[in-house]
Amino acid sequence: MPWFVKIEEGIVDRPIFDQYVPAHKEFVRGLIAKGHQAKSGYWSCYGGGMLLFQAASMDEAKAIVAQDPLVQNGCVHYKLYEWKVAVE
In the chain, what are the domains?
A: 3-83 (3.30.70.1060)
* CB-facing half-sphere around the CA of 50: CA atoms within 13 A: 11
pLDDT digits (tens, 9 = 90+) for 12-38: 998 999 999 999 999 999 999 999 999
Instruction: Tell whether the model's pLDDT for residue 52 goes beyond 90.
Output: yes
pLDDT at 88: 83
Query: What is the β-pairing status of strands 48-54 and 39-42?
Result: antiparallel
- Banded model confidence at residue 40, pLDDT cuts 50, 70, 90: very high
pTM above 0.85, yes or no: yes
pLDDT at 44: 78
